[in-house]
Amino acid sequence: MRSGLHIDKHLELLSKRYPTIEAARGELVYLQTLLSLPKGTEYFFSDLHGEADAFINFLHSASGGIRSKIKTLFQRTLTEDQQNDLAFLVYNPRTVLKKLDEEKKITDEWVRIIIFRLIDLLKYVSSKYPLPKIQEKTPKEYSIIINELLNTIVDEEDSDIYNQAIIFAIIEQDASIPFITALCEMIQNVSVDELHIIGDIYDRGSGPHKIMDVLMNYPDVDIQWGNHDVIWMAAAGGCEVAIMAVVRIALRYNNFDCLEDGYGINLRPLYSYATEVYADDPCERFMPRIFEDKQIARIDPEIAAKMQKMVAIIETKLEGQLYERNPEFDMADRIVLKKINFERNVYVENGVEYPLLDANFPTINPQDPLALSEKEQELVDSLKVSFTSSPKLQRHINYLYSVGAMYKIHNSNLLYHGCIPMNEDGSFTTMEFDGEQYAGKELMDYIYFQVRRAWFSMENSSERRKGQDFMWYLWCGKDSPLFGKDKMATFERYFLAAKELHKEKRNPYYEFSRIEEGADAILREFGLNPKFSHIINGHVPVKIKDGETPIKANGKLFVIDGGLSKAYQATTGIAGYTLIFNSHELALAEHHAFDPTKESGSYLPEIHVVKSMPRRLRISDTDQGREIIAQIHDLKALIDAYRRGDIRSELK
């Protein structure tokens, strides 16, 4: 290096990785080639709500995309039934292979034929991806074998003999079932290049822990937090009121499986205390909701109702305490226990008295209604230990923090779960925290850092407690972008008959975002060009049966909460959406109700193409392409520095 000459430190660091002109030039050629490849396929899911079986089926089938590719590839050589059988094998290899093995149908000839079909399918679905990406998704234990089968030419006699020898060796070593399973799972992974989860993995359904296990083993996942995710995140961090909300919702939807089996939460103290306190109380207002696929309750519904009422009262007390210590939340009107006249058993709202449907409150002190009894505090402490010491829950929440955020901007799309709070005039709502005002994008950024502080700050610190209180506000606060309503009327629905008090008014966002001018304003707020960009949103179920459409604002807003949760399907009329963004088009997959008892190889959602690309999109058109172009620029600068002698090249 020339003495006294200033050299870009970035180029010096880059030269460590590419120490010669040849090395830099080789990488440059590779990157330029990448830019010409087709854009990978992105899949967007929202509001999974613990429906593990349905979500996993939709994911493993690439929302019907794999079945479509099987039809294209094999329509001249396989019957419709054979195509369905192959699809079902790819979606559910472990289940199918176990059944076939029990029926003694896995013969050597079947293995040979099915491996060749799977290899042909894998070649087809992976053809548009660069080799390093395919290698990333290749199972390590079979990487050499799969690479050999993918890259040999079967039409040549020697290659065909070689391929046959590989398969015979697989059979001889009794590796047929694990190898076929690995091929199927690789096809699943390759078919989905990027997976975006637009919030609400948790609550209502019984399998959020199963969904999290799948996501943690899936490449290229990002998550935009929903309000149901945030409440679980707060609970895992030890937020007492959040723990009560999580347990109450699980009890309401008869989800003991998730709490006890999924995360090892000990409900025995709750069971004992609730049956003691409400021994003679039928707790009719708290009977759990049981759907068709879960008619058999794990705990007697009457006991579950007592447990739910116990938790609901404690949650309401803790919620009131939280609002009293956080006046800046402006939520004093939601300290509902202080609105009860316990002598007359009425609830007072704006001077109007409403009779209580249930006035049996043996654990409430009318002189201090927010105070926990000694036994209630013991119960809270017990549940807190269970949540904060559950290894699986802690691992899952860590993952939510590692890949999650309040929003994401990717390939000209803006992703978020709930809303961007707006005023009645269409302007962005300004909120004040710690003496600073935030609105729009700045508000979302502020929330992101506060949520992270609630998890990463020191235990028992004031900062951690403050962050957890803030997460509760995100769950149900009137201007929370994750909630988007003026109140959460849980108490009113439990205890009051007056329907007008059950209403939850939506934020003006839900009107303005659905018109083009409103969507344009939101996109500009996040630095996006409204001519080319879209908003992808969840949170509010789209009522297809009532004539609603998920496409709003003249094609600039997609609301993809279509009712994956069984609790919503009677309202929506369908069973969820997947938004698919590939190199050719932007499309909505409209799913039908998933029946895990039926073979789903023939399952195909209704695909609605909502925007065709004017030309096939390449990697050069994506955010990844822009990053590659920047790398190309740096490599050219490094090569120039080598040629000038500004940076010393290693000898060959």
Instruction: Say if residues 204 and 231 touch (Cβ distance below 8 Å).
Output: no
pLDDT at 374: 95
Q: What is the pLDDT of residues 188-215, one digit of tens each?
A: 999 888 999 999 999 988 899 999 999 9
pLDDT at 186: 93
Highest mean pLDDT among 68-82, 547-561, 589-603: 68-82
pLDDT at 158: 59
pLDDT at 290: 73
Summarize the confidence of residues 489-501 as an average pLDDT: 96
pLDDT at position 468 over 60: yes
Strands (E), 280-351: 340-341, 346-349
Q: What is the pLDDT of residues 86-97, one digit of tens each?
A: 999 999 999 999
Strands 436-438 and 431-433: what pairing? Answer: antiparallel
Instruction: Say if residues 243 and 387 touch (Cβ distance below 8 Å).
Output: yes
What residue spans define the domains of the chain? Answer: 9-37+622-644, 40-59+194-219+406-419+513-617, 63-191, 226-391+433-498
pLDDT at 90: 93
pLDDT at position 292 over 60: no
Q: What are phi and psi of 142, to 5 degrees?
A: -125, 15
Confidence of residue 9 (pLDDT cuts 50, 70, 90): confident
Residue owning tokens 């201090």? 368
Residue owning tokens 């505090």? 377
Average pLDDT, the chain: 89
- List helix spans (H) across 326-456: 374-388, 391-403, 440-456
pLDDT at 390: 97
Confidence of residue 603 (pLDDT cuts 50, 70, 90): low
pLDDT at position 519 over 50: yes
Percent of the chain with pLDDT over 90: 69
pLDDT at 423: 96
- List helix spans (H) across 48-142: 52-60, 65-74, 80-91, 93-102, 108-126, 131-136
Summarize the confidence of residues 527-544 as an average pLDDT: 85
Tokens of 308: 């739910």
pLDDT at position 324 over 80: yes
Confidence of residue 573 (pLDDT cuts 50, 70, 90): very low
pLDDT at 291: 58
Higher pLDDT, 485 or 62: 485
SS (H, E, C) 442-504: HHHHHHHHHHHHHHHCCCCCHHHHHHHHHHHHHHHCCCCCCCCECCCCHHHHHHCCCHHHCCC
- By the 10 Å C-beta count (0-12 exposed, 13-18 middle, 19+ buried), 109 is classed as exposed
pLDDT at position 315 over 80: yes
Percent of the chain with pLDDT over 70: 91
Confidence of residue 3 (pLDDT cuts 50, 70, 90): very low
pLDDT at position 605 over 70: yes
Tokens of 220: 């290229």
Q: Which residues contact 206 (CB under 8 A, 6 or more apart)?
A: 50, 52, 253, 255, 257, 258, 294
Q: What is the pLDDT of residues 117-156, one digit of tens each?
A: 999 999 999 988 888 888 888 898 988 888 888 877 655 5
pLDDT at 590: 82
Highest mean pLDDT among 56-60, 191-195, 357-361: 357-361
CATH number for 40-59+194-219+406-419+513-617 (one of 3.40.50.300, 3.60.21.10, 3.10.105.10, 3.30.420.40): it is: 3.60.21.10
pLDDT at position 593 over 70: no
Q: What are phi and psi of 329, to 5 degrees?
A: -75, -15
Kindly list the distances between the CA atom of residue 323 and the CA atoms of 316, 318, 578, in Å, as whole numbers in the listed order.
11, 9, 38
Summarize the confidence of residues 444-456 as an average pLDDT: 95
Highest mean pLDDT among 54-63, 297-306, 385-394, 546-555: 385-394
Least confident of 4-13, 417-426, 428-437, 613-622: 4-13
pLDDT at 4: 42
Summarize the confidence of residues 248-273 as an average pLDDT: 92
pLDDT at 574: 46
- The counts of H helices and E strands in the chain are 27, 17
Give percent helix, percent strand, percent coil of the chain, each to the nearest 5. 55, 10, 35
pLDDT at position 541 over 80: no
Instruction: Say if residues 196 and 190 touch (Cβ distance below 8 Å).
Output: no
pLDDT at 575: 63
pLDDT at position 466 over 60: yes
